Structure formats: C-alpha cells, structure tokens
Amino acid sequence: MKTTATWLTASSSGAIAILQIRGECNLALKALGIAGPLRPGIPCRRDLGGIDEGIVSLLDQDTLIVMPHGGIRVRQLLQETMEQAGINLSEPDTVDPRSLHPEAGDRYEALMLETLTRAASPLAIDLLVQQPERWRSRHSGFTPDPGRTRRLNRLITPPLVVITGAPNVGKSTLMNRLVGRTVSIEADLEGTTRDYTRGLVDLGGVVVDLVDTPGRRVSSDHVEQEAILISDELLEQAECIIELMAPATRPASRQVTASLAVMNKSDLDGTEQLARQQGCGCCISAATGDGIEELVLLVRNELVTDDDLECGDPWLFDPALESAGRSETDR
Ligand SMILES: Nc1nc2c(ncn2[C@@H]2O[C@H](COP(=O)(O)OP(=O)(O)OP(=O)(O)O)[C@@H](O)[C@H]2O)c(=O)[nH]1
Ligand SMILES: [Mg+2]
C-alpha cells in the first residue's frame, strides 16, 4: 500500500486542520519526531516536528490522523515534512471517500461525510445528513433531476452573485449592507467604485460569493475600464445577477440580462411607483435596510428553491467524488 497524506479540512485557514495519513504510518511519525508506540484509538497531544503542537491519533494500523492548528504556514510546513519523508499529498477528490472516512457505515455515509466537510452553506447540513437513508431507500429507476442537482450543489460551493447597475444607484451601499460592514466605498459621485470588491456572505442560509462592480458607464479612466472589463467576465460567470436601479440616476451604458431587477432608495418619494413601472422584483433602501430581508429571500430562492430543499429525493453527490477511488467494474 502506497503511503499518502490527505487534508480532510478545507485549504483556507481555520482553527484546526486535519491531515490523514494512510499506509505506512510510522514514516509520518518518524518524520514528525513522535517516538513510542501510539495506542490505536487513543488521541494524544504531541510536538509535531517542531512545527506546532497538535493531536495525533492512530485510528488503525494503516490510518493516522494529525490535527495541528489550521494556519496556512503550519499546513505548508507539515506538507513539506511529509513530502520529504516520501509521503505524497493526495487531493481528496482522488481518494476513495471510504478511506477518508473509515468511521462511515457504508459508501453513502462516506460520500455524505466528505461532502459535509466541503459544504459552505448552513442549509446543506440537515439535508446532507438525510442523504444516506434517502439513497438506500430510493425506488428502483430513480434518476436525479439535473436542475435540482445543480442548484443544491450551490450549497457546497458558494455561487457567484454579482451586483451591477448604473453609476450611483447604491451598489456599494447594498454590498456593505449585505456583508454587514464597510468593504466598498460609498459616495454621491459617479465612478466611486473603480475596482470590484468581493466577499463571502450568508444570504438566508446560502453562502454566496458576492461581488460589487463599478457602475456600467463609459469612462476615460484606464483603471475603471479595466475593472469594468473584469466585471463583464464576472457577469458572464454569475449564477445570479442583481440589477440595481434608483431614481434620478443616469442609465447604464449597456444592458445586461439580470436575474433580479431591484429598485433602491425606497426612502425617497416616488421610488415605489418607479419600481412598479420598471417591473422590479422588490424595492429596498440599502441605506436604511428597508426591504433587505425580502431581497435576501428572493436571491436565495433564485439560487436554491424551496422545492429543492423540501423534495424528499436523494441528492446526487459530486460525480468526481462519487467515482473517486472506484475502478470501472465497481461503478
Ligand atoms: N436616499 C438613499 N441614498 C442612498 C441609498 N443607497 C445609497 N445611497 C446613496 O447613493 C449614493 C451612491 O451610493 P454608492 O453605494 O456609492 O453607489 P454605487 O452604485 O456603488 O456607485 P458607483 O460605484 O459610483 O457606481 C451615496 O451618496 C449613497 O449614500 C438609499 O437607500 N437611499
Ligand atoms: Mg460603488
């Protein structure tokens, strides 16, 4: 058996990281300077080769778990130490989920646990926990709905949501309102946002990759034009486009196909009427917070519907994960 190491936790920084070693565990223990026999199933705190202090646990003869603090540098150094000891790093996608999760009762449970480690959204958790039972008891001939699969997978990888619109309509004010702090500069001046800002935000249980873009206008400013070009690419990749409008602003220099048209500045007279005329899905005030809850619900429903969440059918796991570690004959 080839000895491999796999990070079971996401590659971003976290409180702790979990590294699983499969194969010749003594190689890893030696590289980390951990002496003495470890008793299987009994976790203990050890110095990890001078890199960090962490928990090590031998699950069985072939499986060792090392849990350092989750900082990026600690992960890098541990990884280098493993590589120097001849232990190759494997991507979780290429490893059979059953070997990543020996505690799982069957393959469905292993797939569910591995998907859970990657899930970004709180709404994924209860749903994932129900999946092994749903797969086991599915009726013969069941075929997953590809649309539902695509939408539910947005609970695992944050979908791209772009706020766009004419200059000065309040895009950055909305971005800051949704993020809950100032990440974008707001000002009563066209062209305030010259570059796009981005952040992960929980919108009604779905974590999204939210982007605030510069107002769509013709500009002689080289930096702003570059940012508008990048925004155009993001608009093409977006899974939800919020077109923000507001009274008394100049129209955008070009049209885009939006998922949701939203009128801002509802605190100003006549805005509600304008929203109806323009066929907006909702009317908000990014400045006061009015209507934001309704907007969050609309965006969430655009990405993952109530039907998707309530349907009792099993949810197809990531096909790459589903086939990882399986030979053609197993499938
Ligand atoms: N009355 C009112 N003013 C708002 C509201 N939202 C934003 N504003 C104001 O509108 C102006 C423009 O806001 P921004 O958020 O900078 O607008 P933007 O769309 O990001 O502008 P650019 O980045 O220049 O395209 C600022 O003076 C904000 O305070 C709102 O809900 N009501
Ligand atoms: Mg702006």
From the CA of 192, give the closest atom in ligand 1: 24
Report pTM. 0.82
CA pair distance 33, 84, nearest whole angstrom: 13
**Does 245 lie in the same domain as 186?**
yes
| pLDDT band, residue 329 (cuts 50/70/90) | very low
**Does 277 lie in the same domain as 177?**
yes
**Does 270 lie in the same domain as 177?**
yes
From the CA of 285, give the closest atom in ligand 1: 31
Instruction: Identify which of 163, 164, 172, 218 to mutate to test ligand 1's pocket (most ligand atoms within 8 A of the CB).
Output: 172
CA pair distance 215, 221, nearest whole angstrom: 13
The answer, yes or no, to whether residue 330 has pLDDT greater than 50, is no
Judge contact between 210 and 175, C-beta under 8 A: yes
From the CA of 173, give the closest atom in ligand 1: 15
Is 102 inside any structural domain?
Answer: no
From the CA of 235, how far away is ligand 1's center (Å)? 21
Q: How many CB atoms lie within 10 A of CB 89?
A: 13
CA pair distance 124, 117, nearest whole angstrom: 11
Residues within a 6 A CB radius of ligand 1: 167-173, 186-188, 190-193, 214-215, 264-265, 267-268, 285-287
From the CA of 272, how far away is ligand 2's center (Å)? 22
Angstrom CA distances, 168 to 164, 199, 235, 245, stand at 11, 21, 19, 9
Number of structural domains in the chain: 3
Distance spanning both ends of the chain, measured CA to CA? 22
**Does 283 lie in the same domain as 171?**
yes
Question: If you compute the radius of gyration of the chain from its CA atoms, what whole number of angstroms results?
Answer: 25
Judge contact between 243 and 165, C-beta under 8 A: yes
Is 30 inside any structural domain?
Answer: yes
CA pair distance 35, 72, nearest whole angstrom: 26
From the CA of 277, how far away is ligand 1's center (Å)? 21
Q: Which residues of 266-292 are buried (b: 16+ CB within 10 A; e: fewer)?
A: beeeebeebbeeeebbbbbbbbeeebb
From the CA of 189, how far away is ligand 1's center (Å)? 8
Residue 161: which of 202, 125, 219 has the closest Cα? 202
Question: pLDDT tens-digit profile of 129-156?
Answer: 999 999 999 888 888 899 999 999 999 9
**Does 86 lie in the same domain as 200?**
no
Q: How many CB atoms lie within 10 A of CB 187?
A: 11
The H or E element spanning position 171 is helix 171-179
Instruction: Identify which of 163, 164, 168, 221 to mutate to test ligand 1's pocket (most ligand atoms within 8 A of the CB).
Output: 168
Q: What angle do CA 16, 22, 24 make, to 5 degrees?
A: 120
From the CA of 220, how far away is ligand 2's center (Å)? 17
From the CA of 212, give the closest atom in ligand 1: 20
Pick the last residue of a domain from 40, 60, 90.
Answer: 90
Protein residue with its CA nearest to atom 11 in ligand 1 = 188
Instruction: Identify which of 173, 218, 262, 269 to mutate to test ligand 1's pocket (most ligand atoms within 8 A of the CB).
Output: 173
Question: pLDDT tens-digit profile of 69-97?
Answer: 988 899 999 999 999 999 999 887 777 88
By percentage, how much of the chain surpasses pLDDT 90? 61
Give the domain extent around 274.
Answer: 160-290
Mean pLDDT throughout 254-260?
89
Protein residue with its CA nearest to atom 21 in ligand 1 = 168
Protein residue with its CA nearest to atom 14 in ligand 1 = 170
CATH number for the domain spanning 33: value is 3.30.1360.120
| Protein residues with C-beta less than 5 angstroms from the ion ligand 2 | 171-172, 192-193
Question: pLDDT tens-digit profile of 193-248?
Answer: 877 889 999 999 999 999 999 888 888 888 888 888 888 999 999 999 999 999 98
From the CA of 167, give the closest atom in ligand 1: 25
Q: Of the ranges 1-5, 52-56, 305-309, which one carries the lowest mean pLDDT score?
A: 1-5
The H or E element spanning position 14 is strand 14-16
CA pair distance 94, 111, nearest whole angstrom: 13
Judge contact between 165 and 171, C-beta under 8 A: yes
**Does 178 lie in the same domain as 253?**
yes
Burial of 107 (0-12, 13-18, 19+ CB in 10 A): middle
Sequential DSSP letters for 60-116: ETTEEEEE-EE-HHHHHHHHHHHHHTTPEE--GGGS-HHHH-TT-SSHHHHHHHHHH
Q: How many CB atoms lie within 10 A of CB 26?
A: 14
**Does 267 lie in the same domain as 171?**
yes
Q: Which residues of 31-42 are buried (b: 16+ CB within 10 A; e: fewer)?
A: bbebeeebeeee
**Does 167 lie in the same domain as 216?**
yes
From the CA of 191, give the closest atom in ligand 1: 24
From the CA of 88, how far away is ligand 1's center (Å)? 52
The answer, yes or no, to whether residue 331 has pLDDT greater than 70, is no
Is 28 inside any structural domain?
Answer: yes
Residue 228: which of 149, 171, 147, 156 has the closest Cα? 171
The answer, yes or no, to whether residue 327 has pLDDT greater than 60, is no
